[in-house]
């Protein structure tokens, strides 16, 4: 009897193995099979960015990736950002700038901002706004998020 596709991958630096169905998205695998609830399902069609993860150094929507595609790849999720009790500078600055309210979009914003700063450590405000255009927030608004990213970028450059 077919029980699913066996997949070996690496998530936040740790090797992980799971079984999934052919039509199961990586978002569903992360949440329902691996218990990583950081990535959220907003739209499920790649428009809102709440399910953003980094797949082999590329920012992607995990709702538009099949679980089976994760074979042999490297996945980074919001769960890998803090080091123990030490928050990532982006997480710390999101708190300090009150850059979240309901929090549904926040893991996606944090991962998208992490990817942005990895590629462009000193972005202009415009570059931040364009870089995060694939992430929608319906309550905080974007100004606080942009300020938090700018502040975190400064901390990370100094670190």
Partner 1 sequence: MRYIRPSSLEDAIGLLVEASGKAAILAGGSDLLVRMKGGFIEPELIIDIKAIDALRHITESEDGFVIGAAVPCAVLGENAALRRAWPGVVEGANLIGSKQVQGRCTIVGNLCNASPAADSVPALVAAGAKALIRGPAGSRTIAVEMVPVGPGKTSLAPGEIIEAILLDKRQPRSGDAYQRFTPRTEMDIAVVSAAVNLTLDDQGVVQSARVALGAVAPTVLLVEEAAEILTGSRVDDKTLDRLAAACSGACRSIDDKRGTVEFRRKVAGVLAKRVALAAYQRAGQK
Positions in 24-63 near partner 1 (CB under 8 A): 25, 44-47, 49, 52, 55, 58-61, 63
Among positions 36, 78, 131, 149, the unique one binding partner 1 when judged by CB under 8 A? 131
Interface with partner 1 in residues 89-118 (CB under 8 A): 112, 115-116
Does residue number 6 form part of the binding site for partner 1 (CB under 8 A)?
Answer: no
Classify residue 3 as exposed, middle or buried by CB count within 10 Å of its CB (0-12, 13-18, 19+).
Answer: exposed
Say which residues have a Cβ less than 8 Å from residue 133's Cβ, sequence separation at least 6: none
Helix axis angle, 106-119 to 89-96, nearest 10°: 130
Chain centroid offset of residue 124 CA: 21
**130 counts as binding partner 1 under rule CB under 8 A:** yes
- Binding residues (CB under 8 A) for partner 1: these are 5, 21-23, 25, 44-47, 49, 52, 55, 58-61, 63-66, 68-69, 71, 112, 115-116, 130-131, 133-135
């Amino acid at each position: 009897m077919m029980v699913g596709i066996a997949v070996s991958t690496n998530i936040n630096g740790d090797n992980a193995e799971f079984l999934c169905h052919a039509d199961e998205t990586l978002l569903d695998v992360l949440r329902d099979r691996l218990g990583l609830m950081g990535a959220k399902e907003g739209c499920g069609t790649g428009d809102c960015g709440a399910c953003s993860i980094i797949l082999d150094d590329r920012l992607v929507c995990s709702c538009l990736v099949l679980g089976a595609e994760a074979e042999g790849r490297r996945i980074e999720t919001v769960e890998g950002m803090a080091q123990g009790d030490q928050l990532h500078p982006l997480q710390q600055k999101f708190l300090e700038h009150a850059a979240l309210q309901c929090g549904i979009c926040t893991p996606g914003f944090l991962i998208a901002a992490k990817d942005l700063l990895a590629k462009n450590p000193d972005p202009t405000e415009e570059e931040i706004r364009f870089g995060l255009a694939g992430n929608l927030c319906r309550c905080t608004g974007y100004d606080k998020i942009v300020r938090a990213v700018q502040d975190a970028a400064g901390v990370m450059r100094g670190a």
